Amino acid sequence: MLLNRATGELVITKSQLHDGQEVEIYFQSSANNNDRGNRERYFPVLPAELRINMAVHWLVRRPYQAIPSGTLRESLWLSVGLHIVQLQPAPSHDAQPSPPWLHRDGEAVTYIVLMNREGVTGGINYVTTPRWVNHQPEEVPPQDLLAQTTLTAPLDGLGVIDERVAHHVTSVRHAERGGSVPERVADGFFGVGSVPGVKRLSRESHCLI
């Protein structure tokens, strides 16, 4: 979709057809995703009722307003990719994000907003200095680990300026499987106030700038 930066108007762009299905095409270079990079990925289009849903539009406008001035190139229209990603583990296996390691997306800014979380453990978000792309959080020394947080309530969110950091979310495990995916340090966001450029948007939402 396109966002008019002067008026806040959102324009839904035409979707593509793939195997008879309406899809949004998402492309990342292998430099940004060496798990599924250099090929088109097909996400289902937003259901028609969500495309005109004011809450969804708010979900685009509100994070945009939190982007520090000077981050984005000057242009009237901003291209916005909005994807619903579901990590759905089974009792027999964890659900893994792609790529399953620290990475950059190749976008100017990425926001992750939780819609719902039920009956799972894991799904811990890490943000590190950019040199740790293609590594696991366990390998990152404390001084390079900028943020760690688990989004737990609907609309909890995290935003990153892509070129400044690497980010990752860990696998999600079905609660019936017992235990939890490995966690290196205690859950919770840290670094607010001590890391230049990290700020809270609200009690539960964080913006890494």
Closer to Fe ion by Cβ: residue 35 or 105: 105
Minimum Å gap between C-beta 194 and Fe ion is 24
Closer to Fe ion by Cβ: residue 56 or 165: 165
Minimum Å gap between C-beta 85 and Fe ion is 10
Minimum Å gap between C-beta 97 and Fe ion is 8
Measured on CA atoms in the order 170, 39, 111, 198, is the torsion positive or negative?
Answer: positive
- Residues 31-90 within binding reach of Fe ion (CB under 5 A): none
| Position 204 contacts Fe ion (CB under 5 A) | no
Minimum Å gap between C-beta 165 and Fe ion is 11
Q: Residue 151 and residue 194: Cα distance in Å, rounded?
A: 21
Minimum Å gap between C-beta 98 and Fe ion is 9
By beta carbon distance, the residue nearest Fe ion is: 105
Q: Show the tokens assigned to 6.
A: 């002067």
Closer to Fe ion by Cβ: residue 94 or 162: 162
- Residues 91-110 within binding reach of Fe ion (CB under 5 A): 105
* DSSP letter string, 26-81: EEE-TTT-TTT-SEEEEEEPPPHHHHT-HHHHHHHHHHHHHSPTTSSPP-SEEE--
Site string for Fe ion, 119-158 (x = CB under 5 A): ----------------------------------------
The burial of 130, by beta-carbon neighbours within 10 Å (0-12 exposed, 13-18 middle, 19 or more buried), is given as middle
Size of the site for Fe ion (CB under 5 A): 1
Closer to Fe ion by Cβ: residue 53 or 98: 98
Q: Measure CA of the first residue to CA of the last residue in the chain; give whole Å.
A: 24
Closer to Fe ion by Cβ: residue 22 or 105: 105
Q: Residue 179 and residue 43: Cα distance in Å, rounded?
A: 31
Q: Residue 50 and residue 57: Cα distance in Å, rounded?
A: 9
- 27 strand-pairing partners: 40
Minimum Å gap between C-beta 19 and Fe ion is 25
Closer to Fe ion by Cβ: residue 105 or 183: 105
Amino acid at 53: N
Is there a contact between 72 and 146 (Cβ–Cβ < 8 Å)?
Answer: no
Contacts with Fe ion, residue ranges (CB under 5 A): 105
